[in-house]
A and B are shown apart, each in its own frame.
Chain A
Amino acid sequence: MGKIGLIIRREYFTRIKNKTFIIMCLVGPLLWAALIIVPAMLAGKPGAPRQIVVVDMSRLSSLDTSLDYAHIFRDTMNLHFNYDYVLGDVEAVRKKYKDSTQTSVLEIPSNFLGGMDSLNVATIGKAVILHSKNEPGHNTLAYIGSRLSAEHRKMMLQRDSIPIAAVEKLKDNITVANSVRGKVSKSEIKAVVGFVFGLIIYMYIFMYGVQVMRGVIEEKTTRIVEVIVSSVRPFQLMMGKIIGIMFVGLTQISIWIILSMLIITPIINSINDDKTDFTKALPGNGIQQVMPVQDGGGASPMNVFKNDETKEMISTIMMIPWGNMLVSFFFYFILGYLLYGAMFAAVGSAVDTESDTQQFMLPVTVPLIIAIALSSTVMMDPDGKIATWLSYIPFTSPITMMMRIPYSDPGAGSAGGVHVVDIIVSIAILLVTFLIMTWLAGKIYRTGILMYGKKSSWKELFKWLFYKA
């Protein structure tokens, strides 16, 4: 084995034998699992529902028979409405339940909707109050609010003699199906796929690039570097370190994927066995998410979607050019890491301690951050100017291109978004930049590692580029 092989082996084995690495391997999947499982558990096994005692001080319900609270507030999984005191005295009712953590009193004030006098718009009060001992939560308030608003709207329409049925028709949502050259697809799924791949590259570069930098600083501060560079060329040491750490990262990610599957699969199965569909519990759907799931005997999360939607999803996933996607992912992942790894190594060589790295870190990492920050712009207009530029600039292309490829149709020629040629050109630019950058970083590195106790600046680094080896 060559000397660079020895270096790679040392970098690899000392790191994977490290306790931190082992702990990270175990904790990573547990965190992922917790992220998925905890909300599912919380939604799957709710506590006792909160009781809401409705007290109507406006007495509207006694006059207007159409105002039927039992009709307005339907019980949900988490909320149970009580109409025993609907015409009671709010103070008395509040006193009665003042120590209960599970009961709130909903006070509909006397001036609500203008009170008994009239349904005068001008005097409509909105101060419906929910009295509770403890925080009832945003969803509870939102649910009550939305139900009352809907009722209020209905009353207004009635007052003006507008037929409700006509208005209801206006509410129909018109959806636009996305058909590109005869293929119907869902953009959201492409966005998610692209973003996940881009994010993996981003995180990998950051986590392991910083490790390269730390490794270089360690060798510098322990002063072992001079012994090593008397045996191997500084460039070999730098590349050995970058490549060794790359394998550490690949190992860690592989372990994460395998362990995550091992942990998550049985839990998903057990949740499905409970006939509770956890996918409904994922945040972001408003109040409906806490509604009990109408159980259609669903054993797989796919059943949540209507049949059409499922088909559409699958066809969208099938439509992503996976061949292009995975092959380019491999190149962008490796080359992107190597490019940044070289830059992180150069930064590490220029400083004595990690705290001195800040002035260099920002300019190095800014392109990565830009690529992630502009991800929504890229996905909104995957063939737009910004997206195109970012996917050729080698410092952003590994992330941006991964976000664009899912939108492309390799069979459609120049009209199909990202063409294979575009990818090849982008990767070629990345490769050339990587070679140049590694060469430059090597020059900075070999000077930097032997400079002790000297505060370096960008100007200094620039000078190092021209020192003779």
Chain B
Amino acid sequence: MSYLLEAKNIVKRFATHTALDDVSIAVPEKCIFGLLGPNGAGKTTLIRIINQITGPDSGTVLIDGRLLEPSHSESIGYLPEERGLYRKMSVGDQAMYLAQLKGLPKKEARKRLEEWFERFEMSGWWKKKVEELSKGMQQKVQFIVTVLHEPRLLILDEPFSGFDPINAQLIKQEILRMRDNGATIILSTHNMGSVEELCDNIALIHQSKKILDGNVKEIRRQYATNTFDVSFRGSMIAFTNAMWTGAELVAKKEGDGICSVRVKLLGKTSPNDLLHAVIGSSEILSFNEVIPTMNDIFIAKVRAEEPTGAELGTKSNYTE
């Protein structure tokens, strides 16, 4: 697989703490890459290094296999988490200015802006001052100026904050559309739902270190704990008695003559072994493997680094 961006062994220290400790990530081309981690983990520092806003103490960043250099900034679009616009400047002037800073010629910038304004239904905004716009409207302008120069690498830090669900959906569609058009996107967010929905790959950073990375589906599968949700008609006691010693009941729920249980398979027990064991005593209605959500994995991985570790597939995560 060819990587558009590779960051190798990045170390960044500040006076009192280490922001990144030997962090490496590899972002494949034309994918959406989730950069995850709790607040203060070092995500923003890594993003700033990729944007050449700050430099690493050691380590290298490669784009297309070539060392990062100032001219690369024109093929990167960056939407920072802490973002804003000049309040007293008009939307049009401001967008033109930022587009030209990214290397777009004046004419081209104007043409593209008009297209985007049309698509985002904001054609009348050109002469408005930014301070006259609502927060959501400002976010739209900000998104457009980030992507206007059609960067090959798009870095979006919490892109959905400040948007209502309708506009968040609009932005989601745009992100997917740009990926389909060949852009590579790094998405940093705390919204795990959108990570599952959008991201192909992720890296999880915690306390300045990368603690997990890979393909989202593979990670979720990898973190599956051989746990199954079973619902059946019949007697709970009969079911548990019939359950072979190779399985353990994690949680149970009864009501309306239907029982739901979460069962964790032990040792070499296969799902079929369990089904064989219980099928005589109960009428099985559903049988699903529990695949952990990114949310579960995030929490579990981060907690595991702390003294009071938690495990996946335990009762605390059992929601129906």
Contact = CB atoms under 8 A, between A and B. Distances in A.
Interface residues of A, number: 27
A231 B102 CA distance: 6
Interface stretch (A242-250, A429-437, A461-469): A461-469
A35 B111 CA distance: 52
Nearest to B88: A14
Nearest to B157: A226
A226 B80 contact: yes
A223 B100 contact: no
A227 B70 contact: no
Contacts of B15: 463
Interface in B77-113: 78-80, 82-89, 93, 97-98, 100-102
A41 B73 CA distance: 63
Contacts of A200: none
B57 A468 contact: yes
A229 B53 contact: yes
A153 interface: no
Contact of A232 (B89, B93, B101): B101
Main secondary structure of the interface of B (DSSP, over half): loop
Contacts of B82: 223, 226, 452
A10 interface: yes
Interface in A219-247: 219, 222-224, 226-234
A136 B318 CA distance: 95
Given A14-B86, A14-B88, A233-B70, A226 B98 contact: no
A42 B52 CA distance: 64
Contacts of B48: 450
Contact of B83 (A10, A226, A229, A231): A226
A227 B93 CA distance: 16
Could you say which of B53, B85, B87, B98 has the most chain A C-beta atoms within 10 Å of its C-beta?
Answer: B53
Contacts of A224: 83-86
Contact of B89 (A3, A14, A223, A234): A14
A234 B51 CA distance: 12
A361 interface: no
B12 to A, nearest CB: 8
B83 to A, nearest CB: 5
A230 B73 contact: yes
Contacts of A14: 86, 88-89, 93
A234 B73 CA distance: 13
B199 to A, nearest CB: 22
A245 to B, nearest CB: 15
Interface of A: 3, 6-7, 10, 14, 18, 218-219, 222-224, 226-234, 446, 450, 452, 463, 467-469
25 contacts: A3-B101, A10-B97, A14-B86, A218-B86, A219-B86, A222-B84, A223-B80, A224-B84, A224-B85, A224-B86, A226-B53, A226-B82, A227-B78, A227-B79, A227-B98, A227-B145, A229-B51, A229-B53, A230-B52, A230-B53, A230-B73, A446-B54, A450-B54, A463-B15, A469-B54
A-B pairs, 4 with minimum CB distance? A223-B84, A222-B84, A231-B101, A226-B80
Interface of B: 14-15, 48, 51-55, 57, 70, 73-74, 76, 78-80, 82-89, 93, 97-98, 100-102, 142, 145-146
Given A231-B101, A463-B15, 8 more contacts: A14-B88, A218-B86, A222-B85, A223-B83, A227-B145, A230-B53, A450-B48, A469-B54
